[in-house]
Chain A
Amino acid sequence: MSSDPAEIQKSVRSYMTVFAMLMVFTVITVAASRFHLAVPVGIAVALIIAAMKGSMVAAVFMHLSHEKRWVYGTLLLTGAFFLVLLLVPLFTSLDSLAIGSPWTAVKSGE
């Protein structure tokens, strides 16, 4: 991380740009929620916008865009375990959920 004041000045401009973009995306995400989209579309739109906002915060504010390999490695490992955390409980309980199993729907020819 450069500690040269001139470099930091340049970074300040990018901080302000990201702030403006985050505000725009906040407005977009609230506006998008006003449209009565189909549930999966609505979820996708909301999460995509949130992911874009999140990656801007991570890349610019948290300086992740020029971080060291050890930090990237930590986050990659975290991401992998996070996915497991998110998906495995969901998969193990699919049969008992209100939506039912997609396979029975296919079998009965629906």
Chain B
Amino acid sequence: MNIPYTVEARPDTGLPNGKLGIWLFLASEVMLFGALFSTYILLRVGAVEWPHGELSVVLGTINTIILIGSSVTMVMAWASLKMHNWGRHRLYLALTFLLALVFLVNKYFEYSEHLAKGEGPWHSTFLAIYFTLTGLHGLHIVGGMIVMAYFLGPGAKMWKTEPDRFANRIEYTGLYWHFVDLVWIFLFPVLYLL
């Protein structure tokens, strides 16, 4: 069975199916994180007091730099494919995966520091929304890593048989990954700095 419009654009939308599909998915993700940001605003505005300095700005900044870096390596992974450089693509995709892993390791250190002191999401409203927002974001990072692992592993076969379709798949992975980065770009100042 041959699925149409995986490489060439549909005449009505001007897009391959996968591209519109991933943007529609990202639209639903905007609603998901939007609902949680709205929750944060409501909780903070309604609170008598709000803690400051409970989170490590240094660790948060490092994680911001790591995630932005991973967005660059992700777009370079796609660009390398477009320039028919398979080796470079593999390197950049692996780097993106590694940077994501480092982000999660840092998150683990942050979480365990709080949990060791008994400061879980039950401890305060601030920590409740902090763990919810960063926890859901972290799960999205894991999801992205699973997809990257697939394209580093068994999924890479498609480059030999259908290179343009494979390049499109990497592009869509990139779109998802940039969105995950975008969410963090807003999460970081909101939770760590304000």
Question: Residues of A with Cβ closer than 8 Å to B?
Answer: 1, 3, 5, 8-9, 11-12, 15-16, 19, 22-23, 26, 29-30, 32-33, 42-43, 46-47, 49-50, 53-54, 57-58, 61-62, 68-71, 74-75, 77-78, 81-82, 85-86, 89-90, 93, 96-99
Most chain B Cβ neighbours within 10 Å, of A16, A42, A70, A85: A70
**A98 CA / B190 CA spacing, docked (Å):** 20
B2 interface residue (CB < 8 Å to A): no
Q: Which residue of A lies closest to B60 (CB)?
A: A30
Most chain A Cβ neighbours within 10 Å, of B23, B76, B188, B190: B23
Count, chain B residues at interface, CB 8 A: 51
Q: Using Cβ atoms and an 8 Å threshold, which residues of chain B touch A8? A: 79, 82-83
Q: Which of A54, A61, A86 contacts B38 (CB 8 A)?
A: A86
**A98 CA / B42 CA spacing, docked (Å):** 11
B68 interface residue (CB < 8 Å to A): yes
**A32 CA / B69 CA spacing, docked (Å):** 22
Contact check, B34 vs A26: say whether CB atoms are below 8 A apart: no
- How far is the CB of B63 from the nearest CB of chain A, in Å? 11
**A15 CA / B174 CA spacing, docked (Å):** 13
28 A-B contacts (beta carbon < 8 Å):
A3-B82, A5-B83, A8-B79, A8-B83, A12-B76, A19-B72, A30-B57, A30-B61, A30-B193, A33-B189, A46-B189, A47-B186, A47-B189, A53-B185, A54-B182, A57-B71, A61-B178, A62-B175, A68-B15, A69-B14, A70-B20, A85-B35, A89-B42, A90-B42, A93-B46, A97-B45, A98-B45, A98-B46
Contact check, B65 vs A26: say whether CB atoms are below 8 A apart: yes
Q: Which residue of A lies closest to B175 (CB)?
A: A62
Contact check, B61 vs A77: say whether CB atoms are below 8 A apart: no
B64 interface residue (CB < 8 Å to A): yes
Q: Using Cβ atoms and an 8 Å threshold, which residues of chain B touch A23? A: 65, 68
New A-B contacts (20) at CB < 8 Å, excluding given A5-B84, A26-B64: A3-B164, A11-B79, A12-B76, A23-B65, A29-B193, A30-B61, A46-B190, A47-B186, A57-B178, A57-B182, A57-B185, A62-B178, A70-B20, A74-B24, A85-B38, A90-B38, A90-B42, A97-B46, A98-B45, A98-B47
Q: Using Cβ atoms and an 8 Å threshold, which residues of chain B touch A93? A: 42, 46
Q: Using Cβ atoms and an 8 Å threshold, which residues of chain B touch A96? A: 46
Q: Using Cβ atoms and an 8 Å threshold, which residues of chain A touch B37? A: 86
Q: Which of B15, B42, B164, B182 contacts A58 (CB 8 A)?
A: B182
- How far is the CB of B176 from the nearest CB of chain A, in Å? 10
**A90 CA / B46 CA spacing, docked (Å):** 10
